[in-house]
Every structure is written in C-alpha cells, then in structure tokens.
Structure 1
Amino acid sequence: MSDRPEIGDWTDPDGLTAVQDARLPETLAAAARSPFYRARGGVPVDRAGLAALPFTTKADLRDAYPFGLLAVDRRRLATYHESSGTTGTPTSSYYTEHDWLDLAERYARKWVGIRDTDTFLVRTPYALMITGHLAQAAARMRGATVVPADNRSTAMPYARVVRVLRDLRVTLTWSMPTDTLFWAAAAHAAGLEPARDFPALRALFVGGEPLGPARRARIARLWNTTVVEEYGATECGSLAGECPAGRLHLWADRAIFEVRDPVTGHAAPAGRGHLVVTPLYREAMPLLRYDTEDLVEVSDEPCACGWALPAVRVLGRGAAGHRVAGVTVTPGDLEELVLALPGVLFWRARALPDRLVVELEADRSAADALAGAIRSRYGVPADVTALPPGGLVPHHVLTAAPDVVKPRALFGPDEDWARALSYY
C-alpha cells in the first residue's frame, strides 16, 4: 500500500504546500547522490535554496546520457526509457520499482476511474518510450484487463484496432487524440458506426499532443463517449490530469511546479511560459527544476471541481505558430477553424511567407468556407484544396490486415522473396 497522498486529500492550497515541504528534504537528499548535481556544486537543503538553483535542461539530460543522473545502485533499476526524440536527440530516463509505484498512481488518477471490470486498450508505443508501459502498469494496479495494442506497428493496423475494440468490448482506451480519428475512419471503412457499434466504450484517455475544444468535441461526438485528457513526459511520467469539470490540473502534491518566462528566465508559480518541474517521489533519477520546454498556461484560480491543484493549459512547443503575410498563425487557432466544419477528420497546412496552403478531405463547399474563415480570422490569403476521401489518408491504411514478418531464407516459386531476412 502506498504512503503517498491521494487526490481527494488535497482541496486546500496550504495542504499542498505542506506536503511539498514535508517531502522536499528527501528529494534533495536523493539529488545529492546524483553525479550530475554533485558536479554542479552541491544540492541545497530547503525550498529557498531550490529556488536559487539553475534550471535543469534537456541539453543537460542529453549531455548526461545515459546514466549521468543515476542516484541509486544500478542493480535497483527496474526499467530504462528514452524520449521519442521528435524535437532533438532523445533523453534517457530510468526508474526503480518504488518510482514505478508513484508513476502508476499518478496516471491512475482518472476521474472516470479505472476499474477491475474494465478492458483497457493501450494504443501508444511501448518500446523505449514510457507511455505504453505507464498505462499498462496503472491499469494492472487497478485490476483492469489490458489489451497491449501498441502503435506504429504493422502487427496492429487500424482495422485490427477496430475489430479488437468491438469484439473485446473495450471500455477504456489510451492513445493520442489524432489516433481516435483514424479509428473512426477505419470503423466507417468496415461498415461500422463509431457512435453506435461500440456501446461498451465509456472513455477515451488521450495525451501526447495539444487537445483544443473543437477536436475534443469532434472526438466525443464521433464515439459518443467521454474524452479524458492526460499530460506528461517520459522524463517525469504523468504531470497533470483532467478533473470532472474538464480542466487539466497539475499533480502539485507529487511535484513542485514553476512557470519560466522563456524571454526573461524569471520563474513564478503561475502564468504563461515553460513548465518547470521538480518531482518529489523520484529515486533513480532525481530532477531539480527541470525545464520541460513545453509551453503552458498555469492558473491558481478556483475550479468548479474543488481541487486546489493548479490548472494548466498545454499549448505545445509549436504554440507560437508561423508568420504568414505578417500575421502569426497558430496551430490551435487554425484547428478550431478547420474543425468547425462538419465531418472533417483529416487536414494539413503549410505556412508560406505570403499565404496559407491547406488541404483537407472534404467537399468544395467546405474548402471555400474554410478559406473565408481564414481570411476573416487572419486577413491573409489562403489556398484551400478539397480532396476526396483517401486523399490524405489512403483507404488501404484504414483496411490493411496485420503484417507480422519473421526472417526466412527459403521461398516457394510464387512467393515474394524481396523481404528475405527482414522484418519490414
């Protein structure tokens, strides 16, 4: 049984501060055992000293690859992970069994619950990333049946996801928001209606990319179910979860959070800037004032849910947008315009110096409507192309059968031997 506080215990800010202050000495003591922090000149002993420390950056983590931040005997490590590397060289992270208890508990704090009666489809990468392993650990902690669907695998194409969702009567899923749109398209390709033919599905857990109101609403309507957002990082695990009122809250009873102004470098408890986190329950790889580089807005305004935990809006690293004809076009604003159109699932856009180029699977009237909305919103030229179904996401992607290849060397006369000795 964990001795860590649970969400229901923290409905007043003073209680959160007291929890942080009680735990911080152990966190600092763990960091003092890390070669990285020792080389920096030592570790403070209190919150005032913590606030004076320089930020730990992603560059620091890359320079410390692979075990420069290790603060325990390596024999105590349970798992090793790396980030996706989508914005640069991957960073390492590693956890003890004790660390994993904290990771799973935080992820399992879903307001809709994870129950022993649930069948939970995990549709995020396993491999070196933490996301699939994290959801599986949390679901097993709660007694749910896990369906390890993975992602980016030819063994689990969209058609197979749809079959498993229906045949196993899956009740919960974990994926990126965009993936749920692919499932819906694949369901339609199989002659199914997502809102009608998957009655067991009670919630879609999503994370890994910003989720705007329009996309959330589109996903919820498509599947006729609840969408629950999660926010975290490979280096830290779950950092925030959604409350019943639909807002993301930082787990401030498990970490100390700050917001760093990327221009001035000043850090404050709330505001807009980079999210900085000091996890309070971390043995193997303590992090002090770690700058995630994620652009967020943090508020301590009261929430209808009654939680005293700070609310956060995750804007993403591309939230600053691109300049088009002297105007900044942001991905979140543009998505709201696109998804205001009925029925649109797939689109893409390119910001050019003099105009915005957009392609979407829709009819000509929808494309014309979007061009008008862009001109009205931004005052910039827009070339919007309407593509038929399959123009962006080919039909075969939605209907492909599983393809599990094992190496072989001997083939029959009518077999394709171009794939000899390969797994691709």
Structure 2
Amino acid sequence: MYPPLVRRLVFPLHERFCRRPTLRRLRELERSQWMDPQALIELQETRLRQLVRGAAGRVPYYRRQFERAGMRSRDIERFDLGDLARLPTLSKDDIRRNINALQDPAALHHRIPSTTGGSTGQPLQFYIDRARQAADQAARARTRRWFGIDLGERELYLWGAPVELSSQDRFKSVRDRLINHRLISAFNMTPRTMARHLDVIQRFNPVHLFGYPSSLARLVRYARATGRRFANPALRAVFTTGEWLNPADRAAIEEAVPCPVADGYGAREAGFIAHQCPAGSYHIAMEGVIVEVLDPRGRPLSNGEIGEITITNLDAWAMPFIRYRTGDLGALRAAPCSCGRGLTCLDVVAGRRTDMLRTTEGGAAHALSVLYVLREQPGIVQYQVIQQTDLSLDVRVVADSTLTAQSHSLLASKLASCIGAGTPVRIHRVDRIDAATSGKHRSVISLASETPPHRP
C-alpha cells in the first residue's frame, strides 16, 4: 500500500480502533528526545511519582512494600529517583508468586494478558494495558525515524511465525499487509526455507528489515554461500533485537547490506528499553523507563560499572514493574552522545544469547521454535532443551501432575517436528533445573555444530 496513505490514514485509523494513543505519544517523544538530560530526569521523576501514588494506593503488593520500607503518604508525594533504592527489587519469581497482588484492581476490565517467550526456561505471565502498548509502539517508531524511516514504509520481520496460523494470527496477517508489514519465520532455517525467504525479500523490496540477529546472520551467510542477493535496492536499515547482536553476526550482516545495522534492547515484560542511534549509542527511552544498574547485592553501581539491568516501567499501570531485574548485564554511560539527544546511553548490553539448533535438513532452527512449543504445554513449570551431536533432543522438565504420559508423546512429536520428522526426543522429568555458572538459566543448549554447512 502507498506509504503516505498508510501513515496518514490507515495506521491512525488502526490505532484509534485499538484505542491506543500511539501517535500522540510519538509526537511527545519527538520533542522530548532533544531536552537536556536534567529536564528528562525531572520528567522521569514526575511520571515516577504518578506511578508510585497509584501503586501504593491501589496495588496490594506495592502497598506492602512501601509499608515495609517505612514510607508514608508524605514520602510518596515527594518520591524521587533516589528513593527507588529504598524499595526491594522485583524478580520473575516474585511476579509468579504474587501475580494477583501485583495487579491494579482499577485496570482489571481493560488489562491485556501477555507472556514472555520463555528464553530463560520459565515463561512469565503478566498484564499490560493499551497505554503501555502505545508507549512501546511510539518508542519503536521514533527510533525508526532516527534512520529516516517513517510509519507506513515497507517492513519485513524475520520473527516468530508459527507454521499453522490461528484465527488471531490470520487477522494480524491481514492487518500487517494493510500497514505494509510482512512476516517470515525465523524458526526452521533450512536451505529450502531460506531460499524462499530470499525470494520474499526480493519481491517485497522492504525499506527496512527487523529480526533476531542470529537468524538474519544465518540468512545472510546462506545467501553468500549460494550466490544469492540478500540486500534489495530499497533497503535503508536493518534493525535487530531479541538477543545479543554479537560482533561476528553484526559484521556478517553489515557486509551484506548497503545501510546501517542498528540494535534494539528490550524485554516483553519490561518494555522498550534502548536502541542504537545512527552514531551507534544505545539511547534509553527515558520517557518510559528508568534504568538502574545493580551489583549482586542489589546496590546501584556508578556509571561505567557493569551490573544487572533493572527496569522501572513508567507506563506499566495495569501491573506495575518497579525495579524489575531483567537478568541482563549492562553499564550506564555518563558522556553524552554526539548525536545531540539528551537521552542517557546504555554503554554495554550483554548476557542474552540463545543457541541455534541444527535441523536434519542441514539448516538451523531458532531456539524459540522449541521454546514456544514448551511454553504452550500445560503442566510444565520449567524446562531445558539440550541438542546432542546426533541432533537428538534431551528435554528436562519440571512439571506438575497435569503433564501425563500421553502428553509426553504428543510433546515429543511437536518438538521433533522443529528439527525434522523422526528426530529422537527424550523427555526427562526432574525436580529442579539448576542455573549455569553465570547465574542464568540456559533454556536451550546446542552441542551440535554452531554453524552447520549449507546445502544449496
């Protein structure tokens, strides 16, 4: 569809139909990014006080936390960034144990259920609202404009597309076409599917690509090995997210495209956190999130020191996320970016790397292909998938009584289809799955070759 028509008519109508104030938020973000750092901090503190008032007054979990911290009404009325350290951090386990107490009763009728992709081995269920959706969409649209790409331009997603679409997915597919989006699967990256993906790229001629860096790099390497063209004439930017963009993958993608490669950092539960600008800095979306970097004991670190990224989402009203520990590592940078934006920079983003899985056809499947199968299986509390050198899968699960022997058989069949029909899958029920030496759970471990050979 004609991009100006999408930008001026189709997209605004879509957002109005969804009751999301995305365009209003985008206009605000376009102005605020040029504010000086102190003005942005003051904006954060104003929004933080509003969030804290609502959480302390209506959300049972936070009411208890403020009481335990000895904070009274007058403290909450003048709450500032420095007061965050008086509150405990919020972990995934805290959310699971207190899922009901964390919700704002005033938002029960317009809350939207959501869940994480389960890359840590334990999917997290939570709730958001339309304002939070709008905030994330607007922040993402602003970063696109940093690279001269506006709403309505042709965008191709190399993302998580299930093989069989549900009715909701079919609706999204129609919607995506109306707003000039296309989606191709990052899951089963076999030579055959990658050849089809390259065909789609050439036909659709996207202005920008968006996807998992490992999957994009895999497709780039396949194109190079088979003499196919990856970049199309209209391509002006490649955006990556969902996992760490390592130097080797970045170099492979940059070599294949005549445009910038920019990485974004966020989490489904924590929101849109930071994105690279054309100068290469990861700018924090300060208007919507507060980023702290903490040591192992939960104490804030100075700029430049690497620690755990902890997020307070200023738009999470339906279910507040205050001092949420992401499990990712990073460091705040004191120096401003040469681009002139007042948004604080996140100097390091590390610690998120999901293994690719070998397929029987000689290709690679993104780990999320098996994670989504496990996430949807009732009864599974935690899981870990280990691919052996013969491509077989050992699946360790912590499960309750609702996971039956019959469920095992069906689950094994679904998991095998991700790698190739007939792939041996062994399911082991265990009492617990210990973390790796890094302290993080690795939900997918591939012992097979990391970069399988291509077969044209």
Q: Structure 1 length normalisation: TM-score?
A: 0.66
Residue 233 of structure 1: which of 235, 249, 267 is its match?
267
Question: Could you tell me which residue of structure 2 aligns to residue 52 of structure 1?
Answer: 86
Deviation, structure 1 residue 245: 0.7
Matches within 5 A, 1:133-212: 144-152=179-187, 157-188=193-224, 191-195=227-231, 198-212=232-246
Deviation, structure 1 residue 317: 2.6
C-alpha distance 59-117 of structure 1, shift in aligned 2 (>3 A):
closer
What secondary structure, in the 3-state scheme, does the structure 2 residue paired with 1:192 have? coil
1:227-254 superposed Cα distances (whole Å, 9 cap, x missing partner): 0110001112210011121111111222
Deviation, structure 1 residue 35: 3.1
C-alpha distance 52-183 of structure 1, shift in aligned 2 (>3 A):
same
1:11-53 superposed Cα distances (whole Å, 9 cap, x missing partner): 4111111101221222113323223223435476112543311
1:75-127 superposed Cα distances (whole Å, 9 cap, x missing partner): 202x3222222223121232211211111111222211432452111222268
Question: Could you tell me which residue of structure 2 aligns to residue 121 of structure 1?
Answer: 156
Q: Does the aligned pair in 1 maintain the 2:243–2:352 contact within 8 Å?
A: no
Deviation, structure 1 residue 310: 1.8
Q: In the alignment, is residue 266 of structure 1 matched against residue 299 of structure 2?
A: yes
Residue 295 of structure 1: which of 329, 336, 341 is its match?
329
CA RMSD of aligned residues (A): 3.4
CA distance in 1, matches of 2:37, 2:137: 24
C-alpha distance 269-278 of structure 1, shift in aligned 2 (>3 A):
farther
Q: Does the aligned pair in 2 maintain the 1:298–1:313 contact within 8 Å?
A: yes
Residue 40 of structure 1: which of 62, 65, 75 is its match?
65
CA distance in 2, matches of 1:236, 1:318: 15
| Count of matched residue positions in the alignment of Structure 1 and Structure 2 | 316
C-alpha distance 35-185 of structure 1, shift in aligned 2 (>3 A):
same
Deviation, structure 1 residue 153: 5.7
CA distance in 2, matches of 1:234, 1:62: 16
C-alpha distance 280-112 of structure 1, shift in aligned 2 (>3 A):
same
CA distance in 1, matches of 2:160, 2:318: 23
Q: In the alignment, is residue 244 of structure 1 matched against residue 278 of structure 2?
A: yes
1:186-237 superposed Cα distances (whole Å, 9 cap, x missing partner): 4346641325xx2222111101222244542331112232101100011122
C-alpha distance 117-88 of structure 1, shift in aligned 2 (>3 A):
closer
CA distance in 2, matches of 1:395, 1:30: 55
What secondary structure, in the 3-state scheme, does the structure 2 residue paired with 1:123 have? strand
Q: Does the aligned pair in 2 maintain the 1:120–1:144 contact within 8 Å?
A: no
Question: Could you tell me which residue of structure 1 aligns to residue 316 of structure 2?
Answer: 282
Deviation, structure 1 residue 266: 1.5
Residue 2 of structure 1: which of 7, 12, 24 is its match?
24
C-alpha distance 41-309 of structure 1, shift in aligned 2 (>3 A):
closer
Question: Could you tell me which residue of structure 2 aligns to residue 98 of structure 1?
Answer: 131
Q: Does the aligned pair in 1 maintain the 2:230–2:257 contact within 8 Å?
A: yes
Q: Match for 2:306: what amino acid?
A: R
Amino-acid identity (%): 29
Question: Could you tell me which residue of structure 2 aligns to residue 17 of structure 1?
Answer: 41
Deviation, structure 1 residue 314: 3.7
Q: Match for 1:60: what amino acid?
A: D
Matches within 5 A, 1:209-220: 209-220=243-254
Structure 1 alignment gaps of length 5 or more? 128-132, 320-330, 332-345, 347-358, 360-389, 400-424
C-alpha distance 50-306 of structure 1, shift in aligned 2 (>3 A):
same
1:134-164 superposed Cα distances (whole Å, 9 cap, x missing partner): xx99xx89x9511122432689932222111
Q: Does the aligned pair in 1 maintain the 2:116–2:125 contact within 8 Å?
A: yes
Q: Match for 1:160: what amino acid?
A: R
CA distance in 2, matches of 1:392, 1:3: 42
Higher helix proportion: 2
CA distance in 2, matches of 1:232, 1:220: 22
Q: Match for 1:20: what amino acid?
A: Q
Structure 2 alignment gaps of length 5 or more? 1-22, 163-167, 356-363, 365-388, 390-448
Q: Match for 1:24: what amino acid?
A: L
